[in-house]
């Protein structure tokens, strides 16, 4: 049985280093793990209880919930915008936290990774992401972390998958997430 890991990327930019980090996670997934990057976060409307109506949820949000419901674990990839989590990633977490008490995170393992230009690699945003995912019902793996500083210079001419140090660290993160998801199954 394959473990399905759903990756949500908090950057919508075409050349995003965080998107590239998620692509590398797909490449480095261990045997028995399938990492899928969710496409379509940009189309999901901001969470609003008035539009979260049973049997009439916006299509983009319904697709996210469907993908999340079939996932065994989550890899949240967060850059840092103004010292915190990007709105698009927070919005996805908000949609997945509902219906209250029965959201898609439902005790599933969650790991948070990311890269940012600053000297700490986006740790504030990643800490906020862990907090939000945990409150939303995810089993946040607090000791499974990867924050890569200096993204603009470090990845100026190198894809994260081609950076040996990043490749080794990301491989370890995905393997540990896979292990937690497999143990929970």
Mean pLDDT, residues 17-40 taken together? 96
Cβ contacts of 125 within 8 Å, gap of 6 or more = 10, 78, 79, 80, 81, 83, 84, 85, 86, 114, 116
User: What is the Cα Rg of the chain in Å?
Assistant: 15
Give me the pLDDT at residue 100, please.
83
Average pLDDT score over the chain: 95
Whether residue 44 is predicted with pLDDT greater than 90 in this model: the reply is yes
Mean pLDDT, residues 144-153 taken together? 94
Whether residue 127 is predicted with pLDDT greater than 70 in this model: the reply is yes
Cβ contacts of 48 within 8 Å, gap of 6 or more = none
Give me the pLDDT at residue 1, please.
66
Six-digit token pair at 103?
């959201």
Give me the pLDDT at residue 104, please.
94
pLDDT classification of 34: cutoffs 50, 70, 90? very high
CATH of domain 3-184: 3.40.50.360
Whether residue 94 is predicted with pLDDT greater than 70 in this model: the reply is yes
Whether residue 183 is predicted with pLDDT greater than 80 in this model: the reply is no
Phi, psi of 7 (to 5 degrees): -100, 130
pLDDT digits (tens, 9 = 90+) for 61-93: 999 999 999 999 999 999 999 999 999 999 999
Domain boundaries, the chain: 3-184
> Do residues 142 and 180 touch, judged by C-beta distance below 8 A?
no
User: 14 or 4, which is more confident?
Assistant: 4
């Amino acid at each position: 049985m394959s473990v399905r890991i759903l990756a949500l990327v908090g950057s919508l930019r075409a050349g995003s280093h965080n998107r590239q980090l998620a692509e590398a996670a797909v490449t480095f997934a261990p045997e028995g793990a399938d990492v899928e990057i969710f496409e379509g976060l940009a189309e999901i409307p901001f969470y609003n209880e008035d539009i979260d109506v049973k049997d009439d949820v916006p299509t983009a949000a319904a697709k996210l919930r469907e993908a999340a419901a079939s996932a065994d674990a989550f890899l949240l990839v967060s850059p840092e915008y103004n010292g915190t989590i990007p709105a698009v990633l927070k919005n996805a977490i908000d949609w997945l936290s509902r219906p209250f008490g029965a959201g898609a995170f439902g005790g599933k393992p969650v790991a948070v990774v990311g890269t940012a230009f600053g000297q700490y690699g986006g740790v504030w945003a990643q800490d906020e992401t862990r907090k939000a995912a945990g409150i939303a019902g995810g089993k946040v793996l607090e000791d499974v972390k990867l924050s890569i500083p200096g993204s603009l210079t470090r990845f100026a001419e190198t894809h994260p998958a081609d950076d040996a140090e990043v490749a080794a660290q990301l491989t370890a993160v995905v393997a540990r997430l896979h292990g937690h998801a497999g143990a929970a199954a």
